[in-house]
């Protein structure tokens, strides 16, 4: 009786252990069966998401075909990793479970939300069933639901499921700005060869004769600058210097000079006597005749 009761518990324990091993080891093996999803498998390995996925016992991967995923393969490594993490749902969904959904929308938690970097609900997905079809999109307000469920590629119930969607989901805030490549550098002009430098005409010398003659204004300016302007006389120059005081030697020399010079009165007397003599001689000459 006790053995029969322990068998279901043992079976459940083995199932959990087996499921954990499958999740850890066979994520890429599940893609190997579908060559049309080789790009998706390679990107999961390149971004090192496979070891991170293996830490969870319940995972659903939204896979995109090689043709559809080409629209995001040119992104940077960080962008690509963030986008792919939103394609990993921390729950189990397969075709049976999706068909059982009612006509409503549900919110799904993705692997990106566990990083703590999620903003404005970009770590969650919106899954909506409308008119029998299932659509996926970002939970960010205003995001379109353009990625449609196609089929289930692989499923290990309540452990690992890989389902195909029509196109990748790029949530706002996960994709960094992609700048255009810089323009090619402008080629530099080749350096002139020595022969070209030798044959190059030398610049014509400047001829002083051909220089324009200075105008009247220039001559006026030149004359003003060449002729020094007289400085205004100071007050000390206008004051007459005092007359020199005659010394004793100077007085003696002047007295001697005065003695050698005939006085003005004696000169006048001598001149008068000479005139009288001439007058008498004149009258005597008339008397003679």
pLDDT in tens, 144-158: 999 999 999 999 999
Is residue 111 a part of any domain in this protein?
Answer: yes
Residue 87 falls inside a structural domain: yes
pLDDT at 234: 44
Distances (CA, A) of 170 to 67, 71, 81, 176, 237: 16, 10, 11, 11, 101
* 158 Rama class: left (phi>0) / alpha (psi -120 to 50) / beta: left
In tens, the pLDDT along 193-245 reads: 655 555 555 555 555 444 455 554 444 444 444 444 544 444 444 444 444 44
**Is the pTM of the predicted complex or chain greater than 0.75?**
no
Q: What is the mean pLDDT of the chain?
A: 74
The answer to whether position 43 is within a domain reads yes
Q: Which of the residue ranges 1-15, 179-193, 218-232 would you say has the lowest mean pLDDT? A: 218-232
Question: Does residue 42 belong to any structural domain of this protein?
Answer: yes
Q: Evaluate whether residue 70 is within a structural domain.
A: yes
Residue 90 lies in a domain: yes
Q: Give pLDDT, residue 179.
A: 40
Digit-coded pLDDT (tens) for 127-149: 999 999 999 999 999 999 999 99
Residue 265 has what pLDDT?
Answer: 53
**Domain assignment of residue 265, yes or no:** no
Domain encompassing residue 35? 8-165
- Pairing between strand 160-165 and 59-63? parallel
Output b/e per residue, 120-140; b: 16+ Cβ within 10 A: ebbbbbbbebeeeebbbbbbb
CATH of the domain at 60: 2.30.180.10
pLDDT of 166 over the 70 cut? yes
- Would you say residue 119 has pLDDT above 70? yes
In a domain, 13, yes or no: yes
3-state SS, one letter per residue, for 50-105: HHHHCCCCCEEEEECCHHHHCCCCCCCHHHHHHHHHCCEECCCCCHHHHHCCCCCE
Q: What is the DSSP string of the chain?
A: -HHHHHHHHHHHHHHHHHHHHHHHHSHHHHHHT-GGGHHHHHHHHHTT-HHHHTT-SSEEEEE--HHHHTTTTTS-HHHHHHHHHTTEESS---HHHHHT--SSEEEEEBGGGGGT---TTTTEEEEEEETTEEEEEESSTT----EEEEEEEEEETTTEEEEEESS----TTTSPP-PPPPPPPPPPPPPPPHHHHHHSPPPPPPPSTTSPPP-HHHHHHHHHHHSPPPPPPPHHHHSPPPPPPP-HHHHHHHHHHHHHSPPHHHHHHHHHHHHHHHHHHHHHHHHH-
| Residue 172 binned pLDDT confidence (cut-offs 50, 70, 90) | confident
pLDDT grade for 269, boundaries at 50, 70 and 90: low
Distance between CA 123 and CA 110 in Å, rounded?
Answer: 6
**What pairs with residue 134 in β-bridges?**
129
DSSP bridge pairs for 243: none
Number of structural domains found in the chain: 1
């Amino acid at each position: 009786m006790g053995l029969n009761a322990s068998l279901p518990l043992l079976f459940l324990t083995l199932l959990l252990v087996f499921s954990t091993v499958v999740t850890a080891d066979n994520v890429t093996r599940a893609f190997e069966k579908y060559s049309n999803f080789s790009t998706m498998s390679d990107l999961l390995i390149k971004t090192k998401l496979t070891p991170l996925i293996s830490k969870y016992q319940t995972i659903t991967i939204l896979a995109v075909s090689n043709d559809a995923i080409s629209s995001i393969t040119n992104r940077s490594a960080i962008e690509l990793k963030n986008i792919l993490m939103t394609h990993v749902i921390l729950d189990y969904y397969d075709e049976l479970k999706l068909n059982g959904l009612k006509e409503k929308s549900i919110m799904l938690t993705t692997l990106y939300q566990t990083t703590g970097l999620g903003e404005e609900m970009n770590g969650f997905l919106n899954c909506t069933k409308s008119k029998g079809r299932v659509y996926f999109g970002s939970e960010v307000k205003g995001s379109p639901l353009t990625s449609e469920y196609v089929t289930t590629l692989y499923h290990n119930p309540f452990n690992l499921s890989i389902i195909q969607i029509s196109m990748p989901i790029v949530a706002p805030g996960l994709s960094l700005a992609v700048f255009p490549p810089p323009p090619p550098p402008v080629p530099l002009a080749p350096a002139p060869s020595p022969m070209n430098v030798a044959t190059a005409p030398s610049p014509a010398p400047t001829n002083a004769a051909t220089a324009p003659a200075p105008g009247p204004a220039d001559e006026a300016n030149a004359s003003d600058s060449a002729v020094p302007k007289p400085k205004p006389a100071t007050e000390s120059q206008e004051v007459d210097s005092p007359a020199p005081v005659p010394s004793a030697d100077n007085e003696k020399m002047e007295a001697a000079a005065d003695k050698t010079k005939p006085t003005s009165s004696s000169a006048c007397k001598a001149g008068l006597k000479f005139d009288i003599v001439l007058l008498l001689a004149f009258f005597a000459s008339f008397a003679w005749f």
